[in-house]
């Protein structure tokens, strides 16, 4: 189904009437979805809306979680405290030569290895409440300065928080975090208003380090089996690159600091 030609419009995007037409539903029916009455809509209609927008896989799942939460199972109480299994911390410690950490719900940093503290900053010096990637990226000048492409990092963080908000609407700690960031950060307010939803499983991160300068590291983000809300993120450089040599230097520096502290 296509759309009739129309004169140039002042703002980009589809009008509600056009989106309803592409999805094959009436304007009134689509308006009910925007007003939060998606529970009465079939999965087929929601699929049609997702195709008309068009939505990514993450955005499609987010739409279904918001409109038809019963299709994703019963709501579970949000645990008051997230915990990292000792075996997972042992795995982090065994990842020698690459920075790695584990994030939980709300992007809380639950565990990390020695090199991660050298590359990103020493999270052990922070109170547990501040060990959160969203607080660091939006509220910590020192942490923000580590990211050469800060805009891209902020967008990644906001997109994950948006997904968590749809998945766990009863998470009061998440709601408080979003409220705090909205109050304190103009950047967060701007990006939150975009309603982006995604969770990148891999990519490239450009960093600035006070000792070695620019670091270009690829990353892989992997969900931990048995801990659905925890993600292991491992960074690694291209073989033979200047970032590989810089990471060797930082690995040695990290080892020296550990020896002097012991």
pLDDT tens digit sequence for 68-124:
555 554 454 555 578 899 999 999 999 989 999 999 999 999 999 999 999 999 999
What is the longest distance spanned by two Cα atoms in the chain?
73
The residues of the chain scoring below 50 in pLDDT are 1-11, 73-74, 76
Structure tokens at 151: 């805009």
Q: Is the peptide bond before 54 cis (omega within 30 degrees of 0)?
A: yes
pLDDT at 168: 83
Give this prediction's pTM: 0.73
pLDDT at 209: 94
pLDDT at 68: 54
pLDDT at 2: 47
pLDDT at 94: 95
For residue 214, list its beta bridge partners. Answer: 208
Question: Interior CA angle at 240 toward 238 and 242, to 5°?
Answer: 80
pLDDT at 228: 73
pLDDT at 55: 64
């Amino acid at each position: 189904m296509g759309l009739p030609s129309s004169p140039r419009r002042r703002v980009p995007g589809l009008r509600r009437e056009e989106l309803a037409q592409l999805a094959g539903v009436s304007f009134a029916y689509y308006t009910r979805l925007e007003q939060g009455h998606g529970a009465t809509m079939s999965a087929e209609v929601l699929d049609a809306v997702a195709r008309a927008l068009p939505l990514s896989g993450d955005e499609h799942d987010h739409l279904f979680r918001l409109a038809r939460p019963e299709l994703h199972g019963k709501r579970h109480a949000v645990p008051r405290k997230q915990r990292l299994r000792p075996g997972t911390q042992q795995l982090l410690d065994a990842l020698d030569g690459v920075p790695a950490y584990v994030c939980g719900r709300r992007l809380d940093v639950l565990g990390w290895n020695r090199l991660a503290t050298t590359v990103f900053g020493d999270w052990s010096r922070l109170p547990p409440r501040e060990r959160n990637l969203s607080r660091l990226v939006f509220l910590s000048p020192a942490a923000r300065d580590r990211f050469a492409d800060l805009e891209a990092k902020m967008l990644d963080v906001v997109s994950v928080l948006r997904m968590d908000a749809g998945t766990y609407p009863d998470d009061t700690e998440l709601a408080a975090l979003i409220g705090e960031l909205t109050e304190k950060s103009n950047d967060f307010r701007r990006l939150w208003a975009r309603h982006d939803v995604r969770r990148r499983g891999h990519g490239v991160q450009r960093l600035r380090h006070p000792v070695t300068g620019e670091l270009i590291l690829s990353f892989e983000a992997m969900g931990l089996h048995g801990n659905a809300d925890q993600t292991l993120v491992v960074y690694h450089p291209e073989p033979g690159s200047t970032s590989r040599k810089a990471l060797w230097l930082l690995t040695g520096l990290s080892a020296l600091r550990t020896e002097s502290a012991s």
